[in-house]
Amino acid sequence: MKKELKIFDKPKNVKRLLGSFYVSLLILLIIDFFIQKHAEFPWEGATEFFAVYGFISCVLLIFVAKILRLFVKRDEDYYE
C-alpha cells in the first residue's frame, strides 16, 4: 500500500481549514456591499439576504429533521 494522506490528522491543518473558511465567509459578507443587484423580489436585494437565508434554512432543516426522526425512526429489521 502506498503512503496514506494524513493532512486532517493534524489538528493544525483542521484549524487552518476552518480559519480560511471563516475568512472566506467574512469576505463574502463584505463583497455583498459592493455588488450591483437586480432583484425580482424586494428581499432579494436586501443586504446579506442570502447569507441569512442560507444559515436559517440549514438550521431549520436540522431542527425539522430531528423532529421528523421522532416519528419515522425504526430498527433496521423493521420490515423483516
For the four alpha carbons of 52, 50, 30 and 26, in that order, the dihedral sign comes to: positive
**Single-letter code of the amino acid located at 3:** K
Residues 54-73 close enough to bind other proteins by CB under 8 A: 54-55, 57-62, 64-66, 68-69, 71-73
CA 1 to chain centre: 35
Q: At residue 5, what are phi and psi to the nearest 5 degrees? A: -80, 135
DSSP state of 47: T
12 binds other proteins (CB under 8 A): no
28 binds other proteins (CB under 8 A): yes
**Under the rule (CB under 8 A), what is the footprint of other proteins?**
1-2, 4-6, 8, 18, 21, 24-25, 28-29, 31-32, 35-41, 44, 48-55, 57-62, 64-66, 68-69, 71-76, 78-79
